[in-house]
Amino acid sequence: MAECPECARALEQLTELKAAARALPELAPAPETWDRIVARTRRPARRWLWPSLAAAAAVAGLATFASSKVIEAGRARAQAAQQARLETGIATTYDRYMDGVNAAIRECEAALEENPNHPRVRLAYLAARHDRLEAMDRLTSGGD
């Protein structure tokens, strides 16, 4: 129920309805009403058997359909939450990677200011810029 607010509301409404029904005063039917009820119960059972069975089947079908929809909705919410956690983890990993690449680029730029022709620093600078472009390209192309 904690994962399905709709289910929790439905249960709460049913509980309230049950409590309200129990709180109703007990009424006695008029004598003529009771006589009609007794007369109807003495009729052959065949008149109400098939409609009752059809109604019971309809209720069972509706209950099965409703419960499958509740289960399906719960699964969809769980999958969406899992996808969100996965996307958050990927975004965090990407951000950390880019922070490291950007820090390497800044270090290389600082080193190149002191010695603009140093071949290893120039190579490291170009490699870091290349890594950043590749990561950005993978991000915008969906990882392909």
3-state secondary structure 47-91: HHHHHHHHHHHHHHHHHHHHHHHHHHHHHHHHHHHHHHHHHHHHH
Q: How far is the CA of 8 from the CAs of 32, 51, 85, in angstroms?
A: 43, 33, 24
For 125, the token pair is 């600078």
The helix or strand, by DSSP H or E, that contains position 122, with its residue range, turns out to be: helix 119-140
Q: What is the mean pLDDT of residues 81-92?
A: 77
C-alpha to C-alpha distance for 128 and 100, rounded to whole angstroms: 9
> In the predicted model, what is the mean pLDDT of the chain?
79
Strands (E), 13-110: none
Distance, CA of 9 to chain centre: 16
> Residue 119's closest CA among 131, 129, 110, 111?
111
For residue 61, pLDDT over 70 is answered with yes
Contacts of residue 97, Cβ cutoff 8 Å, sequence gap at least 6? 135
For residue 110, pLDDT over 80 is answered with yes
For residue 99, pLDDT over 80 is answered with yes
Q: How confident is the model at residue 47 (pLDDT cuts 50, 70, 90)?
A: low
C-alpha to C-alpha distance for 106 and 110, rounded to whole angstroms: 6
Q: What is the mean pLDDT of residues 6-16?
A: 79
For residue 109, pLDDT over 80 is answered with yes
